[in-house]
Copies of this chain bind each other. A is one copy, B any other.
Amino acid sequence: MAGGDEVKEVRNQQVLARDYISAIPEESDMYLNRSSTIKLRVPDEDDCQEAMLLKNLYLSCDPYMRGVKHSDATSSTDQDRIVFFATDKPIVGYGVSKVVDSKHPEFKAGDLVWGITKWEEYTLIKNTQSFFKINHTDVPLSYYTGILGMPGMTAYAGFYEVCNPKKGEYVYVSSAFGAVGQLVGQFAKLMGCYVVGSAGSQEKVDILKNKFGFDEAFNYKEEADLAAALKRYFPQGIDIYFENVGGKMLDAVLLNMRLHGRIAVCGMISQYNFEQHQGVTNLMHLIYKRVRMEGFFVFDFYHLYPKFLDLVVPYIKQGNITYVEDIVEGLENGPASLVRLFSGRNAGKAVVVVARD
C-alpha cells in the first residue's frame, strides 16, 4: 500500500516481566501495561519483509515458562532456548492468533495460526518460523495451545518417536495430569499398553483413573517410599518412563526399570526451583537393565506435525481422547494462571483467553 494510507492504531494491552526472574515466576514478577498502542499493519521496514501482524486469541501457560539461571544462560551454547521473561518486555509464549496483516507469502490476513507469540493483544512477528497454519477449525481453537499444539506434539514425539512403544508394555507417566502427561497416558492406552500415572492430589488421581482411562494412578505426595510404590504398581517393572519430574522420582524409577527400558526425558519440574539440584544416585541401573534415557525437544519433531494431526484429530472427533482445559478470561488474569500452574492447582491445560475471534 502507498505510504500515505491511514493505518488504524489501537490499544495493545501487554503483560510485561519485571526484573530478572530466578526460577518459578510469581505474580509480582509480571505487570500489566494498559497504555500501549499498535498500528495494525506490518511496517515497511527492512526486517519486516516476511513479517506478520497477529491478533492474539488464546495464550498458553506451560511449565517450562520460567526464568533461566544466570549460570545456565551464560554457560549454555544452545541456541534454541527461548527467553520467556525479559525485563520490561512482554512475556513470550505459545498462542493461537489470527493474522491481521502479513507480508509473508504463506500467511494471509484472516488465517488462523499457532506458534510462539507474546502476551499482548497484538504482536508483530518478524520471524514466522515457529508458526503453523490452522486448517482443522472444527475443533475448539484453544486446543492448538494444547492437544493440537506444542504439548500435543511433545507427547507424540516423546512417546512414539523417542520411546518406540510396543503393545502390552508397561508405561509410567509422572506429572500425568499435566498437559503432556495426560496425552502420553492416553496415547499409551490407545496403543494397548498398561499405564500408571502419578500426580499431586487425590482429585487428580481420580480423574486420571476415571476420566483419562489410566489403569492406575497414585498421589506421589502420599508415598513415603516412591520406589516401593512403583514396585507395587509395576511388579514386572517399567518398560517406558515418560519423565517430567527428575530427582527422587527418577531415582525410584531407575530401580524399577525393566531390561531394555526407555526413558524419554521431557522435563524435570522438581529441579526447576532448586538452586542446587537433587542428585540422582541410581544411574548404575542404566547398565544393569540396559536402559536408554534420552532428552528431547519438540522442535526437532515438528516435521511430523501433519502425521500427528492425522492421528490425533480423528481421535478427538471420535471421542477417543479426553481433553480438559482450565480457561481463564482476560490477558490481565494471565499471570495468576501461570503461577497457579507451578503450584499444581490448575485443573487442566491452562489457557488464557485474550479474544475469541
Contact = CB atoms under 8 A, between A and B. Distances in A.
Contact of A296 (B268, B290, B293): B290
A295 B300 contact: no
Interface string A3-37: 00000000000000000000000000000000000
Q: Is the interface of A mostly helix, strand, loop or mixed?
A: loop
Q: Chain A, interface size: which category?
A: 35 or more
A78 interface: yes
B288 A81 contact: yes
Contact of A289 (B237, B292, B295): B295
Given A293-B293, A293-B294, A294-B293, A76 B288 contact: yes
A287 B283 contact: no
A284 interface: yes
Contact of A277 (B278, B281, B288, B293): B281
A115 to B, nearest CB: 21
A265 interface: yes
A230 to B, nearest CB: 12
A213 interface: no
Contacts of A271: 283-284
A323 to B, nearest CB: 25
Contact of A267 (B276, B287, B292, B295): B287
Interface in A257-308: 258-259, 265-268, 271, 276-297, 300
Contact of A286 (B78, B288, B295): B295
B290 A297 contact: yes
A343 interface: no
Nearest to A297: B290
Nearest to A286: B295
Given A277-B281, A279-B280, A283-B246, A78 B289 contact: yes
A77 interface: yes
A265 B280 contact: no
Given A77-B237, A279-B278, A294-B293, A287 B268 contact: yes
A250 interface: yes
Interface in A60-86: 75-78, 81
Interface of A: 75-78, 81, 237, 246, 250, 255, 258-259, 265-268, 271, 276-297, 300
5 contacts: A265-B286, A279-B279, A279-B281, A280-B280, A280-B283
Given A268-B284, A271-B284, A292-B292, 13 more contacts: A75-B255, A77-B237, A265-B286, A265-B287, A277-B282, A279-B279, A279-B281, A280-B280, A285-B295, A287-B297, A292-B293, A292-B295, A293-B293
